[in-house]
Amino acid sequence: MNKVLIISYYWPPAGGPGSQRIVKLAKYLPDFGWEPVILTVKDGEYPYLDNSLQSDIDPGLKIYKTKSFEPFSLYKKISGVDSSSPLPVGQLTDRATSLKGKIFQWIRTNLFIPDGRVGWIPSAYKEAKKIIKQEDIKIVFCSSPPHSLQVVGQRLKKKLGIPLVADFRDPWTKIQYYQRSRRIRLAQKIDEKLELKVLKQLNHLTTVSSTVADSFVKRLPASEEKLAFSILTNGWDPDDFQSIQHYKASDFLILHTGNLNATQVPDVLFQSLQKLGNERSEGLSTIKIKFIGRVHQKIMDAVSHYHLELITEFQPFMSHQSVIEEICNASLLFSVVPDVPDNKGIVMSKNFEYIGTGNPILVIGPKDSDIARILSEFANSNIFDYHDVEGCKRFIGDSITKFNRSKTVTTPDSLRKKYSRVTIARKLSEILEHCTQ
């Protein structure tokens, strides 16, 4: 069996979509003829911890870890933040308010290039060279962000000539938080040069949506060889859904999982519910809204503004498996595409696990986005613009009516299968095979 070195900063005990993506790929790649070898960071700074992912890791999987200089650790010492505190979610998406916060954000944005994990590059590169030799690695697969590890992959390709597949879960220099946390021109130019150097070296690029892929393809000059790329969406793991306890809830539960930042306030959802409450004789007494994960204060303020406190519940981050059980038993699952420029390629990983349940899905975002094209495959789901209150209200009202009559439409397995982690791993194995021929 050929071996692939997978380089990822996020790996258990880290939780969240980045860690899940790599754990699931490593789980299923052996089924298609590829043995993964993992290189990750030792004692990294993570926004979430989730030890439940350990159950997906084969005991025989080879995992190498190296130390990294973490600027956030230094920031915690300077600012007086508890050393055990997790890395804040939305650290760059939200504008800092304190002087120390603003200074740290400026330093992080303009001095740590390409990102705050640049301190991992030296040790990761050194360790990767050893692993490639002693494990007889055939190809390297780097999954980012952080994009610092793509620099590691580029150096390995240049030094050793080993094939390189770069996996981008997010854009690099065009990522949306740089539109809120402005960079100086020199920092932007240096980062763009790094990005271009990586794109010129790699054998294949994989990413989560066609819009993000197009943004990378356009970065290469017309004179350069055409960039080979594939779309590897995030997905849902059939194993995660095997032993779920299903129950029939009396209330219609609208659920969001994962963090929501300041650019994701679901005003249109709240306005729709407020109108529904005014139109229904029973008001909103049989409807519940639930948020699992960290949400920005703006979302909490909006709940109060629309007088929805009595039907809204906030819960902190939960383990991945616990979240799966929650979404399986929700009546309506919703997510919000960040309301920022160039957002059409943003496809949150939670949407694919929503798809795995077969339950109805409501997304707030651009009607011509990548997630809109995906949702168009499912008759029970829809996407609404940030201001389409009437359309959103009708959809929720129809969903409630079907729920009350026990006629909720579930998406069939045949349509959901293409987004399973098994299918995604098979597609990656074919890419690895092609790049090593």
The one-character DSSP state at 311 is: G
Distances (CA, A) of 373 to 354, 370, 387: 15, 5, 19
Phi, psi of 335 (to 5 degrees): -145, 165
* Gyration radius from the chain CA atoms: 22
> Residue 311: CB partners within 8 Å, gap ≥ 6?
273, 284, 287, 288, 289
Q: Are strands 287-292 and 361-364 parallel, antiparallel or unpaired?
A: unpaired
Enumerate residue ranges in the chain where pLDDT < 50: 83, 86-87, 89-93
Q: What is the β-pairing status of strands 164-168 and 204-207?
A: parallel
Say which CATH superfamily domain 238-416 falls into: Glycogen Phosphorylase B; (3.40.50.2000)
Fold exhibited by the domain 2-235+420-435? Rossmann fold (3.40.50)
Cβ–Cβ under 8 Å, residues 399 and 382: no
Backbone angles phi, psi at 164, to 5 degrees: -130, 130
Cβ–Cβ under 8 Å, residues 20 and 236? no
**What is the residue type of 261?**
N
| Peptide linkage before 12 cis (omega within 30 of 0) | no
Burial class (CB in 10 A: 0-12, 13-18, 19+), 260: buried
Provide the greatest CA pair distance for the chain: 71
- Secondary structure class of 380 (helix, strand, coil): coil
Provide φ and ψ at 314, rounded to 5°: -115, 130
Question: pLDDT tens digits for 217-275?
Answer: 988 887 677 889 999 999 999 999 998 888 878 899 999 999 999 999 999 999 999 99
Domain coordinates of the chain in residue numbers? 2-235+420-435, 238-416
What does the chain come to in residues? 437
CB 287 within 8 A of CB 272: no
* CA 260 – CA 337 distance, rounded (Å): 10
DSSP 56: G
User: How many angstroms separate the Cα of 328 from the Cα of each of 90, 195, 349?
Assistant: 27, 40, 16
What is the structure's pLDDT at 91? 46
The string of DSSP letters for 345-369 reads: T---THHHHHHHHT--EEEES-TTS
Instruction: Say yes or no: do domains 2-235+420-435 and 238-416 share a fold.
Output: yes
User: Can you tell me the distance from the alpha carbon of 212 to that of 206, in angstroms, rounded to the nearest whole number?
Assistant: 10
Contacts of 427 (CB under 8 A, 6+ apart): 230, 232
Place of tokens 């010492």: 77
Quick one: which of 202, 263, 258 has its CA closest to 230? 202
- 231 forms beta bridges with 207
231: left (phi over 0), alpha (psi -120 to 50) or beta: beta
Residue type, 82: D
Q: Which residue shows structure tokens 């920022």? A: 340
pLDDT the model gives residue 224: 75
Q: Which pTM does this prediction carry? A: 0.89
Spatial distance between the Cα atoms of 120 and 116, rounded to a whole number of angstroms: 9
The helix (H) or strand (E) run that includes residue 28 is: helix 17-28
Check if the beta carbon of residue 119 is closer than 8 Å to that of residue 70. yes
Strands 229-231 and 164-168: unpaired
Q: What single letter denotes the amino acid at residue 179?
A: Q
CA dihedral (269, 273, 279, 281) in degrees, to 10, reads 160
